[in-house]
Structure 1
Amino acid sequence: MRLTTNAYPKEQRQDAWRFALKRVSLECLESEDEIYGELVTFRSALDIQFLRITGTRQSLAVDFSETLPCVWLVLVLEGEGAVTSGAVHQELHAGSLICGGDRVGVRLDMAADHRLLVVRAPLTLPSLKARATPPSVVTVLDGRSNLGQMLAGLLFSVADAMVDTTNDQMRPVETALPEFIASLLLDSAPDKDRGGTAGGRAALLERVFQTIEIRLSDPDLNLQQVAAEHGISPRYLQKLFESVGDSFGHCVKTRRLERCRLDLGSPLHAQKSISEILFQWGFNDSASFSRAFREQYGVSPRQYRKAPALPDEEASETPLRGRPASLKEHKKPPLRLATIEDEEPEQPAPTQEREVQTVPMGPGVRHHLLPATPETVHWGFFSRNLKPAIEVQSGDYVTVETLTHHANDDHERMIDGDPGAESVFRWTAEGKAVDRRGAGPGDASALGRGAGEGFGVHICTGPIAIAGARPGDVVEVRILDIAPRPSANPKFAGRSFGSNAAAYWGFHYNDLLTEPKPREVITIYEVDHQHSRSCARAVYNYRWTPQTDPFGVVHPRIDYPGVPVNLDTVERNFEILQDIEVPIRPHFGVVAMAPAHTDLVDSVPPANFGGNIDNWRLGPGASLYLPVAVAGGLLSLGDPHASQGDSELCGTAIECSMTAVIQVVLHPAKTAREPLKDLDYPLLETPDEWVIFGFSHPNYLKELGAAAQSEVYKKSSIDLAMRDAFRKARRFLMTMRGLSEDEAISLLSVGVDFGVTQVVNGNWGVHAIIRKALFAG
């Protein structure tokens, strides 16, 4: 997480800074009136917390008394000041190290501009476990001792790199840092902590842990040797371990297993065999090592190497959407040649009874046509490497054709006779018009489903490059009109259709009442958007049966997009949902800017770049504001819906191909005003409301590390999404409307509606609806 006070108006920066520090157990006691502060946080896989603070002159309190038992460090990266804790008062300079525990706090008085690194390490880490209680006094090192220099050097490196650090890259630090802290506590402990029976036991046990760490690779390491080395009896050594709820044998085994786990997951040891790694760390039997590893981590060493720290996905009872954690993508998407329209494009022929509205054009403003063809769509992924289908200027209008990836649920109604849809969905034994469908490997080497593996499913039209767009800017996508694509089959002339899938990724799937369980069900709807009563009516439904695609691959579930359904293999039920009309709310499920990510990105989980937001309010009259992450922005639209309820509970909306007119407006960062200044999340505006989107993981590609595109499907929750929506809505009210935090919180409770956006896209969503009428006065 990264926060800067520059994101807030001057009068609110003090409150924003104090609140940000309070969330990480720090407190701003005094500061200059015009404060500047930047807070960067990182939490490692072993729950070691790193906080980098940059600020102007201020006084801070460090107090972890309300956290779990821990040891903390503060390193002065730049600046000068003083530390006070009880009777301790000492000057600080660059390189000074302060160490304490959750039982003791300190006051830091920083005299001028400064940078600090705060580290909190839980006492549950093996190297720190010898301390039954955290340090009771503060230790201050000047950073010039041998130990201080080594520790400070390590932490300086972490501070410089933590913005772009992943959990994998942090592993060596996780291994070394607790050892440094244990040594620091042992060497610098006050006499009163060293004295007494308990203090003596803790100091001795710390030395024993160091001996074990040094000699882990020795297969003959045993209790008797270590006891003799420290001049105590084996029985007394065993009692020392019992005092911290452990045993010598268990401690050695778990430390060896942890070292092996780190090496198995590290690219530095990728060329070593599993046998080489286990023998290196003192194991002498591969069978017993494998059993111990599985007991400790729930997977075999071989499985862990393929999918670090996660059980085999295919072995889980409930199938999960998304890529396996073991997937390594080696192929880039084919780079499409740009087709920038420099001349006035040919206008589309009127093929619908209800045409998309004509847009009044201003002087110098262009209107582009972006049809859906194999050359203008990308299927199931986003990529910053894709060449744009067109380039537009700020203010330009675009008529965009979008196709639903569910059209083959009823080929006759949604594809037959439609040249655009037929060209995109063409799939014969000889090949596919659009081969890659998803962000998985192009050779289908992960699960064998097909190119891209279906790790991402949406047909996206674009990308559209916006001239002059740069990272930090905001692009406004105005949805002026959107209408269903009519069937081109003469049997259904003038009628439109869509498909709803109650699928295995739906919230309901493991909570069915009637047999057969489980099951997936497709419902085909007719969509009437031409008359005064715009509604959808169910035509028929059927239960999914295993479908064989033109390449001969069998799909037992709805696991790969665009598979042609052979309706002769299913039983269609026409007497369903009689006398029920679903109101039509045409909208886009996917509106995305290209993420600043090196690999292909699965189109299913939404995030800070937009994507598969799935909110029915993103229809005519709405504007979606999206932060730009790469040059040109690279805007894509897709996943058109005829209607959807909040939550999209069963898996999909009424998925229906649509044609829309949009206007693209660029808001450069240097001229942007609230609420677009420093916007780092999708923000929707309608004529009557502001809609703020929260996600379980707002920037999951960064938050969840190298395995983010598998982890996000396993770690989402409504609680996390609600928390994110609350924080964004509070920030919106405090910056956009100038409310105090107390005022904002009250208004959020009494005047703002929070709703569940969706629980089916891996990264679950909650939205806050702020009605503009609240501010009519």
Structure 2
Amino acid sequence: MGENGRCRLWRSAFLQGGTQVREHVIEIDPSRPLAEEPGRGHNRWHEAIEPVLEVEPGDLVVYETRDAFDGQLGPGSTDRDVGGLDLGPVHPLTGPVYVRGAEPGDLLEVELVGIEADPWEGWGYTVEVPGFGFLRDHFPEPYIVHWRLHEGYAESEQLPGVRIRYNPHPGVFGVAPSAELRRRAAEREAEAAEAGGFALPPEPAGAVPSGEPVASEGLRTVPPRENAGNIDIKQFSPGTTMLIPVHAEGALVSTGDVHFAQGDCEACGTAIEMRSRVRVRFGLRKGEAERRGIRDLQFFRDTYFTAPELAVPRRFYATTGICVEGEGANHSEDLTLAARNALLNMIGHLETRGFDRRQAYALCSVAVDLRISQTVDVPNLLVSALLPLDIFV
């Protein structure tokens, strides 16, 4: 921990509230996969993972991050490469960081100060991975969209006439679980899989750290849980503050899977994925999680999370979906089915604009917002899919 060669630390030259603020930087080599730099990160959640550094509440921390697939893809990657991806190394996280004074029952306050997009290469990607994504049964073939990341927007030759505005946010941001929470999560997710659901159990193949017990016991990073984790919340952009219940001493905070932009759904399973530098400031609310019974992530801000015309699209086209299987069965109060129908209807609309189905699915993932329009008019709940029209240039 501390200044041990795995991170860089310096004191800033400015005062904040009369106190000198320290900034710590966790540097990585983006040309190397996480397994070659195991002292700087991890891709499983486990309370026994050693922290990279210790900080005081109020300190600034800069995390340099890898992309979600840990460097398996590059600007020359093809659809075939997507079909051969190894999901074991997903997601490579930078950290954890030990916050002094943080104890179970506290609320960790995380102010997202800033995100620098892909400072190494200016490239990002969106992929459709077989067997993954909200509409995986409709899109079984691998597909990749390459993005050129400019200052303020992204463009792709594969989606001509589309310009996606910059709205960066960490896809994964979380704290370590307690041993009890880790065991409970593994058990309940196994039960969900046995009941016919889709869940990823602990898997040592590709795990970092690769030693035991972390490799065999560590939770996969794919779902969000009480420790936050893979939240994919585009409103967690610079200027937003998160409140996360602390489960382990020091909180043990990590991040990765940073997005250049994303729709409120990340439908195909990826956004505009990129490497980045994430700057945060930590604070503590002692005992507040236990005192208020807070079990899950909360977040807030006092300004627009992005440009107002993007936060509330000035011009849009929307489709809707209800809980009916085509012309078939009517399911009662099934938001998943309603959301799928809204999204499939949007893909159909995008086809009328000249996109093929795979292009449309990717575009939905990075730009379309799924909104729960109503949950009371039984049996048919209603979901809307909003396409902001200002993305077309």
Per the normalisation by structure 2, the TM-score is: 0.59
Deviation at 1:673, TM superposition (A): 8.8
- Counterpart AA for 1:680: R
Of 670, 678, 686 in structure 1, the residue corresponding to residue 301 of structure 2 is 686
Cα separation, 1, equivalents of 2:42 and 2:289: 35
Structure 1 residues 589 and 635 mapped into 2: Cα distance closer, same or farther (>3 Å)? same
Query: Partner of 1:502 in structure 2?
Result: 128
What does residue 368 of structure 1 align with? Answer: 24
Match of 2:175 in 1: 593
Aligned to 2:59: 396
Q: Does 1:411 align with 2:74?
A: yes
1:626 matched to 2:244? The reply is yes
CA distance in 2, matches of 1:454, 1:485: 22
Unpaired segments ≥5 residues, structure 1: 1-337, 349-356, 415-448, 489-495, 513-517, 540-575, 691-716, 723-752, 757-777
Q: Where does residue 47 of structure 2 map in the other structure?
A: 384
Deviation at 1:678, TM superposition (A): 2.7
- 1:346 Cα shift? 4.8
Amino acid at match of 2:148: E
CA apart distance, 1:408: 3.5
**Aligned amino acid, residue 509 of structure 1:** R
C-alpha displacement of 1:506 = 1.5
Partner SS, residue 224 of structure 2: coil
SS at match of 1:654: coil
Counterpart in the other structure of 1:476: 109
Cα distance in 2 between the residues matched to 1:537 and 1:644: 14
Q: 1:367 to 1:587 in 2, by over 3 A?
A: same
1:604 aligns with 2:186: no
The reply on whether 1:523 has 2:141 as its aligned counterpart is: no
8 Å contact kept, 1:498–1:525: yes
Partner of 2:279: 661
Shift of 1:755: 3.9
- Aligned positions of 1:2-21 closer than 5 A: none
Tell me which amino acid in the other structure corresponds to 1:640: V
Deviations 1:613-645 (A, max 9, x none): 001111100111100011111111111100100
Residue deviations 1:496-551, cap 9 Å, x none? 11110112211223225xxxxx301011101112xxxx111014xxxxxxxxxxxx
User: Deviation digits for residues 626-677 of structure 1, max 9, x if unmatched?
Assistant: 00011111111111100100110111001101102110111110xx399x83
Cα distance between partner residues in 1 of 2:119 and 2:229: 25
Residues 456 and 462 of structure 1: is their aligned pair in 2 closer, same or farther, counting only changes over 3 Å?
A: same
CA contact (8 A) 1:377 1:459 kept: no
Letter in structure 1 aligned against 2:128: A
- Secondary structure at 2:156 match in 1: strand
How big is the shift at 1:577? 1.5
Aligned partners of 2:272, 2:127: CA distance in 1, in Å?
8
**What is aligned with 1:729?**
none
Check conservation: 2:264, 2:370, Cα contact below 8 A: no
In structure 2, relative to structure 1, the CA distance for the partners of 1:523 and 1:616 (3 Å cut) is: same
User: Whole-Å Cα distance in 1 between the matches of residues 56 and 9 of structure 2?
Assistant: 18
- Superposed CA deviations along residues 3-54 of structure 1, whole A, max 9, x for unmatched, are xxxxxxxxxxxxxxxxxxxxxxxxxxxxxxxxxxxxxxxxxxxxxxxxxxxx
Query: CA–CA distance in 2 between the matches of 1:612 and 1:592?
Result: 8
Tell me how far apart the structure 2 counterparts of residues 509 and 380 of structure 1 sit (CA, whole Å).
24
Residue 171 of structure 2 contacts residue 256 of structure 2 at CA under 8 Å; is this kept in 1? yes
How far is the alpha carbon of 1:584 from its aligned partner?
1.3
Instruction: Tell me the residue number matched to 1:432.
Output: none
Contact 2:70 2:90 in 1 (8 A): no
- Structure 1 residue 411: Cα displacement: 3.2
Aligned-pair CA distance for 1:483:
1.2
Provide the C-alpha distance between the structure 2 equivalents of 1:608 and 1:385, rounded to a whole number of angstroms. 18
Q: Distance in 1 between matches of 2:250 and 2:3?
A: 13
Distance 1:618 1:478 in 2: 9
Aligned 1:10-409 pairs, distance under 5 A: 338-339=1-2, 345-346=8-9, 361=16, 362-372=18-28, 374-406=37-69, 408=71
Q: Call closer, same or farther: CA 1:487–1:340 in 2, change over 3 Å.
A: closer
Higher relative contact order at CA 8 Å, sep ≥6: structure 1 or structure 2? 2
1:677 aligns with 2:292: yes
**Map of 2:191 onto structure 1:** none
Contact 2:91 2:256 in 1 (8 A): yes
Matched residue type, 2:22 = R
Quote the Cα distance in structure 2 between the aligned partners of 1:483 and 1:636.
17
Whether contact under 8 Å (2:241, 2:301) holds in the other structure is yes
Structure 2 CA distance for aligned equivalents of residues 647 and 500 of structure 1: 14
Aligned length: 262
Deviation of 1:405 (Å): 3.0
Partner of 1:175: none
Inter-partner Cα distance in structure 2 for 1:636 and 1:376: 13
Give the Cα–Cα distance (whole angstroms) in 1 for the partners of residues 126 and 14 of structure 2.
32
Name the counterpart of 1:537: 155
With over 3 angstroms needed to count, the CA separation of the structure-2 counterparts of 1:638 and 1:411, relative to structure 1, is same
SS in 1 for 2:74: helix
Residues 146 and 156, structure 2, Cα contact 8 Å, conserved in 1: yes
Higher strand share: 2
Aligned amino acid, residue 677 of structure 1: R
Inter-partner Cα distance in structure 2 for 1:467 and 1:383: 19
Judging changes above 3 Å, is the alpha-carbon distance between structure 1 residues 682 and 536 closer, same or farther for their aligned structure 2 residues? same
Give the SS at the match of 1:524.
Answer: strand
Provide the rounded CA distance (Å) in 1 between the counterparts of 2:279 and 2:75: 27
Contact 1:593 1:636 (C-alpha < 8 Å) held by counterparts: yes
SS at match of 2:63: strand
Structure 1 pair 463–407 and aligned structure 2 pair: CA distance change class (3 A): closer
Aligned twin of 1:258 = none
Equivalent residues of 1:341, 1:391 under 8 A apart: no
TM-score normalised by structure 1 residue count: 0.31
Contact 1:587–1:640 under 8 Å retained in 2:
yes
Structure 1 pair 647/366, CA: closer, same or farther in 2 (3 Å)?
Answer: same
| Larger helix percent | 1
Q: Which amino acid aligns with 2:252?
A: L
Within 2, Cα distance between the matches of 1:520 and 1:688?
39
Post-superposition offset of 1:470: 0.8
Deviations 1:127-167 (Å, cap 9, x if unpaired)? xxxxxxxxxxxxxxxxxxxxxxxxxxxxxxxxxxxxxxxxx
Residues 165-223 of structure 1, C-alpha deviations (whole Å, 9 max, x = no match)? xxxxxxxxxxxxxxxxxxxxxxxxxxxxxxxxxxxxxxxxxxxxxxxxxxxxxxxxxxx
Contact 2:289 2:295 in 1 (8 A): no
CA distance in 2, matches of 1:486, 1:643: 16
Match of 2:100 among 450, 467, 477: 467
Quickly say closer, same or farther: Cα 1:365–1:413, change in 2 above 3 A.
farther
Match of 1:280 in 2: none
Deviations 1:530-587, CA, capped at 9 Å, x for gaps:
xxxx111014xxxxxxxxxxxxxxxxxxxxxxxxxxxxxxxxxxxx211210111111
Select the structure of larger CA radius of gyration.
1
AA of the residue aligned to 1:391:
E
Contact 2:70 2:91 in 1 (8 A): no
Query: Cα deviations across residues 384-430 of structure 1 (Å, max 9, x unaligned)?
Result: 0001001111111111111113364543589xxxxxxxxxxxxxxxx
Q: Contact conserved, 1:503 with 1:520, CA < 8 A, in 2?
A: yes
Gaps (5+ residues) in structure 2?
30-36, 78-83, 184-216, 306-333, 340-368, 373-393
Counterpart in the other structure of 2:162:
580
